[in-house]
Amino acid sequence: MMLSLGLLAHVVYAETTFTIAPGVMSFNYEETDVDGSFLDGEHGEIPGIKLSIEELDQEYMFSLGLALEYYAGNVDYTGFVQSTNPRYDGLPLSTTTDQTIFSFSTYVKKPVFDNPYFFVYGNVTYKKWERDIQSKFISGIDNFGDPFTNLYVSGLFEVYQWWQVTFGIFSKFPIFSNSDIEFQAGLLRTIQPQMDLASFTFDLQEAWGYEAELSYLYVMTQQQRIGVSGSIMEWSFGRSNQIGGFVEPDSKSEMKTVQLRYEVKW
């Protein structure tokens, strides 16, 4: 009898929330040389989805959560030809890149001074990004002033993997009788970033970044909310070690995302 009551108490004090959030990401990526000059960049919009599940322990007032996020699509690439032939090395190049971004996160939230509207949070995220720069035939004027046609420029397939640690603040508060506003902002750090290219693995330098998100949610019932979120996340990688005469340069990524959110509690 006492065991049954203990189990019942645990159920009463736990609340689980599942969220599904399809969205569109504005993808912006740039690589720069040691002097800060532009090397190449990728810009465009890609669709994706985020799934999360969070459990709130109402007795001890903290939340534990898991989240999966996947975005994939095609964006524009702007850069320069890299060639051992001085006629073509450094010529401007425009093509496209297929992008795939996957992340898995685990996070915790805790109220500050038992305030139900203001929390601190921390999360640990694994990220994998596949960057497939497409091959292209180009025509134009070479570095010696001579015209050329149908020069084949080979693409590259790069795979980035890293861990990411984030700490920040989260707040939520009701507006009117059936709407909520949520806001969070945090400082992040890329951990052990690597880039794989063919048989080479480049160790990139860790760097700081940030994230912020603002959400509006309409309360449909006590168990359901629907709304929209807008977020921004920026992370960077420092210049890599040299392998076979090749170096992966400094880079910065800025992702702005708009999502539709539906969540249900039980």
Which regions of the chain are under pLDDT 50?
1-10
- For the 2-265 domain, the top CATH level (class) is mainly beta
Give the pLDDT score at 3. 45
User: Residues 179-200: pLDDT tens digits?
Assistant: 999 999 999 999 999 999 998 9
Give the pLDDT score at 12. 52
Give the pLDDT score at 116. 83
Give the pLDDT score at 244. 83
Give the pLDDT score at 64. 95
Give the pLDDT score at 57. 87
Give the pLDDT score at 5. 43
Domain boundaries, the chain: 2-265
The DSSP secondary structure of the chain, one letter per residue, reads -HHHHHHHHHHHTEEEEEEEEEEEEEEEEEEE-TTS-EEEEEEEEEEEEEEEEEEEETTTTEEEEEEEEEEEEEEEEEEE---SSTTTTT-EEEEEEEEEEEEEEEEEEEEGGG-TTEEEEEEEEEEEEEEEEPPEEEEEE-TTS-EEEEEEE--EEEEEEEEEEEEEEEEEEEETTTEEEEEEEEEEEEEEEEEEETTEEEEPBP-EEEEEEEEEEEE-SSSEEEEEEEEEEEEEEB---EETTEE--EEEEEEEEEEEEEEEE-
